[in-house]
Structure 1
Amino acid sequence: MSENQNQEGLRGCVQNRILNDVFDQCAASTPGWLVLIVDDEAMRVVSSVVGMYDIMEKKITTVESINNMRQPLPEMEVIYLITPSPSSIDLLISDFGNPKRPMYGNAHLYFLTRVEDSQMAKIKKAPNLLKRIKTFSEVNLNFITPTSHSFHLDMNPSTSLRNFYSSTPNLSTTASQLVTVCATMNEYPHIRYPSSSPLCAAAAQEFHTQMNNYMSQNPAWWFHGGQSHTQRSRSTLLLLDRSADPLTPIVHEFTYEAMVQDLLDIDEDKISYESEANSGEKVKKDVLLNENDELWKELRYTHIADVITTLSTRIRDFVGSNSGAALASNAGADMSLSEMAAALKQLPEYKETMSKLSQHMYLAHQCMDVFGKQCLLDLSELEQTMGTGTDAEGKAPKAKVLIDDLIDQLAGIGTRKQAIRLIMIYIISQHGITVDIRKRLFDAAGLTGEEQEVILNLEKLGVTLQQAKAPSTSFTSMFRSARLASTGRFDKNSTYTMSRYVSNLKGVLEQAAEGKLDIEEYPSVLPMPQGAEKGGGVGARSVRRGGGAVGEGKGTGNSRWAASSGDGKGAGKGGNGLANKKFTGGRIIAFTLGGVSHSEIRAGWEVMMGTSGKEIVVGGTCFLKPDQFVEAIKGL
């Protein structure tokens, strides 16, 4: 990767590695077309960053799974992009087991990770394969990059939590995968971690050891900030612990991507829905919400009310620009979402761009439909008050009043899952409750013994479940923690009163980007460069409290949903501005053991697109949806 590739992010680095270092090199070495063979893990890595059109441009005519029966093509050269697992190595060798009729011609072997000595020995004992090997390389790409500045290690959420919060956590594999992430970006990072987390301290040492081993085994590898590569400084890797903030993954959030992931039936980036064709017939549509969808990139980190406003405006502008259209007379301000979507489908100009508008209008409408059916307005207002310690006016509620409101909400709540999340939020935010209050909450929600155990399992994440005495009269005791005081829970700049809560991660990233992350709270494995922690200290950021007049709601007709201040424009757009953004200094790579939520990915983007000028990459062992996190806690 060139040092000048400043704006592409981690996803761009992975694309370059696959397209240039693998496909282009192979295409340049053979005059004919190529076959690409992948295993399941490699397919996930490749498909997350490269489309079939990109592959075809590299002289690859066929992509097949190594696990499937395949037609022999002995006249064609083949690229194997696979994990060096025993099963994949065995299948590779078997493809060349018949010396008279091998499956393919010459072979280009690319492995996602380091090939262990035992697997190398197997390959050396396969003479029919050995004589056909034209390329042998380890590409270090065993992670998934769904967006330009986020990644995960493709772990199952339940497995991830059990691994790290068992009596003997296994950190070796995670550290190894993190090394490949850093190697891909040419980063040899300073390693920092919270001093309060023994898990992160152990992970930091393991990563440090494995990163140094990688450097010693790859002497030609270079890193930003190293000798002759000084255009960018060395990066900083922040190793974080999911147990330090179990609250954020379960709080309802109302930016577009977070709502889609929480409320709709989406499988990774694929979502299906029924659409009405021009003939009136219902047809099933599959939509991929990924980096290839520019509208998704633009809107995904935007508040849902602003998504609806933006889509409505663009559809009205489109209808208005077609004065001869039969439905132009209906393009007034009173047009409903469903009317606009129906009008759009009747226009002859309905093409790909308008199809995207219609798709996203439908998805936004579905999010709001679920929002209404599950009565999330009242529930979320309560969540925001518990999560921040203040109501929409910035006042601390009385503890008894809040408990009564909570019990009323639980008594009429739509689903048990929502009840479990709500009780979890209360317990986490209060740093424990009395046994009596807990029983009242469980009874109000009508939870079964198994459902109660899910909540009690929070203790295995380090959450305090029980207080000896009743809470104080004012619901502000949650802020007695120095850690919370340093990172903040309340966004006074939030446009919407229902989006006051901010994650711990955002506060940590803001401090890190400003060079103010306290070195005692977040020590480094090795000494940091002089001046790297300018102005540090716990007091560098205080808890932010605020609130404003509640204004008119946008697209929902309810004032509690409404903007509290500002011009009604949402948070940093997911796809806008990156091309013109100039980064300075070293990258910040924030990685959470146990998984990272979509709201935290958004927080990283917002800090990066702010005024600090720092490039920020956010990752975790997996991406966490709220229900997945609750289910993972159940399995602890």
Structure 2
Amino acid sequence: MNVTLAVKQYISKMIENSGPGMKVLLMDKETENVENLIQELRRPKYSVYFIYFSNVISKSEIKALAEADEQEVVAEVQEFYGDFIAVNPHLFSLNLSGVARGRSWEPTLLPRTTQGLTSVLLALKKCPMIRYQLSSDMAKRLGESVKQIITKEYELFDFRKTEVPPLLLILDRSDDAITPLLNQWTYQAMVHELLGLNNNRIDLSRVPGISKDLKEVVLSAENDEFYANNLYLNFGEIGTNIKNLMEDFQKKKPKEQQKLESISDMKAFVDNYPQFKKMSGTVSKHVTVVGELSRLVSERHLMEVSELEQELACQNDHSSASQNVRRLLQNPRVSEMDAVRLVMLYALRYERHSSSILPGLMEELNRKGVSEKHCRMVTSMVEYGGKRVRGSDLVNPQDAVAITKQFFKGLKGVENVYTQHAPLLQETLDQLIKGRLKDSHFPYLGPSSLRDRPQDIIVFVIGGATYEEALAIYNLNRTVPGVRIVLGGTTIHNTKSFLEEVTLTAAAGQAERLQRAGGHPNRR
């Protein structure tokens, strides 16, 4: 199962079918798009049209298009199922944020999510059985909505039967609010966490001294071999690999040999060799990206922050955690965002501990000058992903003290901590593959159930997936024979976007509760 390949094949087929030099239109089937197309066909600008919709289009809309095509310029209308963003071969996103109102769906986004998810199933040619997280009403509703489409469009889903049916597993982000709060140390995840990766683009315009041609760069494994090879490697290894690439080039210039001992040496080397920059724009791009990541790690004290995050996420020593969180909150080099995330992790981890120091930590945030908006987010986070909401334990007792810290010093100036936190999703899938995932926690939709180990699994996370979870899926696909897993989410989160999602969810939920009670939310 490969979502990137599925979309590429659709695009190739579109271009082949229409012939050389033809204009091809691929569009979502929003009502506004169909209306615009109807107007276009009434007064066509071209002699022939090949129209491809990225999802199922209704018979009434087809009829409206046919009636508008009085000049018979439409050569072809087809459905090509690409109503989603293929991020990696095993990862997709719907680019939707703010999908929830408290514990319920934002009304317009349930049908949109259903369309996107069924488009993925059609692109992969899968008609799955469905399991959902029992503790989430949103997961059940999405499962029912997808099932309705499969039943309604049964001819489209009439794929060749396999010995073991595929499985769609629908989860809710609120069951694991810890994973999106952690700093990351593998390349793709780290880039998204610290710089933001949106549709494979990074905005570097705020980087000190950035050159004009590097203010926005594209990171795509499809056309960037270095990125494809280093996507899941840790930060220290990335630095070493860039260093090796540049040293290979230097061997061709024996008279002008220079040592590459640090990120700053590499940047100076690229600036001093315009021909190298021209020949290897890819390397130039990655030197810039890694250089900025390195600067942020140092500036924000992220080595120490990340170490404490791992302690909070994986260990069970309240006394040590309390002291260390307090100590880092008092460190002026720790940013507002990192201070808030540490308090959130503490609040989620020790929510009901008899010796909780959460009120004291909130006072520390105030003393640090953290904004009221960010302070309020701590409460919102506990409401979103606290024990009252979760269907699972975030920390597995047997793994409580199993974390190990490994330090990679691949090159001077880049020191990477590789952490042992495993997202809850990894444990869930491990149980699923071994046939131990409890029906009482993850029931099937409908009377049937799987007797054999699933082979094709599509996992969808309402409220957003993460690149750390994508790495877990990548490793499972690599190490478990006979199992193919694809992960998707309403979006792909970093900490910043996750906090925005939680804030939107809390605000919408509060507004809805007040509306039911006949009150009005506070206007700020």
User: Shared fold by TM > 0.5?
Assistant: yes
Provide, for residues 30-63 of structure 1, a one-character-per-residue CA deviation record: whole Å limited to 9, x for no partner.
xx62013xxxxxxxxxxxxxxxxxxxxxxxxxxx
Which residue is 2:166 aligned to? Answer: 235
Q: Does 1:386 align with 2:386?
A: no
- The alpha-carbon deviation at position 251 of structure 1 amounts to 0.8
Distance in 1, Cα, partners of 2:50 & 2:203: 37
User: What is the alpha-carbon distance in structure 1 between the residues aligned to residue 420 and residue 464 of structure 2?
Assistant: 23
Is 1:488–1:507's contact at 8 Å kept on the other side of the alignment?
no
> Taking structure 1 as reference, are residues 592 and 186 closer, same or farther at Cα in structure 2, changes over 3 Å only?
same
**Structure 2: how far apart are the matches of 1:481 and 1:523?**
14
The one of 4, 16, 23 aligned to 1:11: 4
Query: Which letter maps to 1:504?
Result: L
**Following the alignment from structure 1 to structure 2, what is the Cα–Cα distance between the partners of residues 365 and 193?**
42
Describe the shift of the 1:189–1:386 C-alpha distance in structure 2 as closer, same or farther (beyond 3 A). Answer: same
1:83 maps to amino acid: D
SS in 2 for 1:96: helix
Question: Of 381, 384, 388, which residue of structure 2 is paired with 1:458?
Answer: 381
Q: Is the 8 A contact 1:108 1:134 kept in 2?
A: yes
2:217 to 287, 290, 308: 287
* TM-score, length of structure 2 as denominator length: 0.83
Letter in 2 for 1:112: S
Match of 1:95 in 2: 40
Letter in 2 for 1:288: V
1:421 is matched with which residue?
341
Following superposition, the deviation at residue 106 of structure 1 comes to 1.9
Match in the other structure for 2:82: 141
1:302 maps to 2:243: no
Q: Distance in 1 between matches of 2:104 and 2:354?
A: 25
Q: Which has the higher helix share?
A: 2
Which residue of the partner structure matches residue 325 of structure 1?
254
CA distance in 2, matches of 1:153, 1:274: 26
Distance 1:622 1:368, change over 3 A: same
> Does residue 223 of structure 1 match 2:159?
yes
- Are the structure 2 counterparts of residues 272 and 633 from structure 1 closer, same or farther at C-alpha, using a change threshold of 3 Å? closer
Deviation string 1:118-166 (CA, Å, 9 cap, x unpaired) is: 534532442435x2222122223211102111101121x2x22448645
Aligned: 1:211 with 2:150: yes
Aligned to 1:509: 429
For residue 495 of structure 1, report the CA deviation from its aligned partner: 4.8
Aligned partner of 1:69 in structure 2 is none
Note if contact 1:380-1:498 (Cα within 8 Å) is conserved in structure 2: no
CA distance in 2, matches of 1:233, 1:345: 56
Query: 1:261: how far off?
Result: 1.1
Contact in 2 for aligned 1:165/1:461 (Cα 8 Å): no
Q: Where do 1:447-486 residues align within 5 Å?
A: 447-464=370-387, 484-485=395-396
Per the TM alignment, residue 284 of structure 1 is displaced from its structure 2 partner at its CA by: 2.9
Does 1:26 find its partner at 2:18?
yes
The two structures have a TM-score, normalised by structure 1, of 0.70
Which of the pair has the greater relative contact order for Cα pairs under 8 Å at 6+ separation? Answer: 2
Residues 314, 192 of structure 1: CA spacing in aligned structure 2 closer, same or farther, 3 A cutoff?
A: same
Kept after mapping to 1: 8 A contact 2:90/2:485: yes
From the superposition, tell whether residues 318 and 275 of structure 1 become closer, same or farther in structure 2 (CA, over 3 Å).
Answer: farther
Distance 1:630 1:441, change over 3 A: same
**How far apart are residue 25 of structure 1 and its match?**
1.8
SS of equivalent residue, structure 2 residue 217? strand
Match of 1:271 in 2: 202
Shift of 1:340: 3.1
SS at match of 1:192: strand
**Map of 1:173 onto structure 2:** 112
Which residue is 2:48 aligned to? 106
Where structure 1 has 5 or more consecutive residues not aligned to the other structure, the ranges are 1-5, 37-79, 390-395, 467-477, 533-584
- Displacement after TM superposition at 1:506 (Å): 1.6
Distance of 2:35 and 2:338 partners within structure 1: 47
**Separation in 1, partners of 2:122, 2:400:** 34
Q: Does 1:122 align with 2:64?
A: yes
Contact 1:251/1:383 (CA < 8 Å) preserved in 2? yes
Partner of residue 522, structure 1: 442
Shift of 1:604: 0.9
Q: 1:120 to 1:281 in 2, by over 3 A?
A: closer
Offset at 1:168? 6.9
1:509 shift after superposition: 2.4
Bigger-Rg structure (1/2): 1
Map Cα deviations across residues 383-412 of structure 1 (whole Å, 9 max, x no partner): 1101001xxxxxx53x23421221221122
Q: Does 1:407 align with 2:326?
A: yes
CA distance in 1, matches of 2:206, 2:108: 47
Deviation at 1:222, TM superposition (A): 4.2
Tell me: CA distance 1:451–1:511, structure 2 relative to 1, closer, same or farther (3 Å): same
Native 8 Å contact 2:350 2:356 kept in 1: no
CA distance in 1, matches of 2:344, 2:262: 37
Q: 1:267 to 1:17 in 2, by over 3 A?
A: closer
Alignment root-mean-square deviation, CA: 3.3
- Mapped pair 1:612 → 2:481: yes
Q: Taking structure 1 as reference, are residues 144 and 265 closer, same or farther at Cα in structure 2, changes over 3 Å only?
A: closer
Which residue identity lines up with residue 149 of structure 1 in the other structure? H
State the distance in 2 between where 1:275 and 1:408 align. 30
Partner SS, residue 215 of structure 1: coil
1:194 aligns with 2:146: no
**Given that residues 381 and 498 in structure 1 are in contact (C-alpha distance below 8 angstroms), is that contact kept between their aligned partners in structure 2?**
no
Residue 432 of structure 1: how far off its partner (Å): 4.1
Task: Tell me how far 1:234 sits from its aligned partner.
Answer: 2.8
| Residues 180/515 of structure 1: CA separation in 2 closer, same or farther (3 Å cut) | same
Seen in structure 2, the aligned counterparts of structure 1 residues 171 and 137 have a Cα distance that, compared at 3 Å, is same
Identity rate, percent: 21
- Structure 2 SS opposite 1:284: helix
Question: Which residue is equivalent to 1:545?
Answer: none
Change in Cα spacing, 1:412 to 1:405, as seen in structure 2 (3 Å) is same
Distance in 2, matches of 1:492 and 1:409, equals: 20
Distance, in Å, in 2 between the alignment partners of 1:18 and 1:164 is 38
- Displacement of 1:175 in angstroms is 2.2
Alignment correspondent of 1:356:
282
Matched-pair contact (CA < 8 Å) for 1:513–1:612: no
Contact 2:134/2:441 (8 A) holds in 1: yes
CA shift in 2, pair 1:309/1:598, >3 Å: same
Alpha carbons 1:489, 1:502 under 8 Å: kept: no
- One-letter amino acid of the counterpart of residue 615, structure 1: R
**Distance change >3 Å, CA 249–CA 179, structure 1 → 2:** same
1:433 Cα offset (Å): 5.5
Distance 2:15 2:402 in 1: 46
| 8 Å Cα contact 1:256-1:303 kept in structure 2 | yes
Cα deviation for residue 361 of structure 1 reads: 2.3
Residues 95, 173 of structure 1: alpha-carbon distance in 2 compared, 3 angstrom cutoff: closer
Aligned to 2:360: 440
CA distance in 1, matches of 2:470, 2:405: 17
What CA distance in whole angstroms lies between the structure 1 residues aligned with 2:474 and 2:99?
Answer: 24
Deviates more, 1:106-115 or 1:291-300: 106-115
Q: Secondary structure of the residue that 1:191 maps to in structure 2?
A: strand
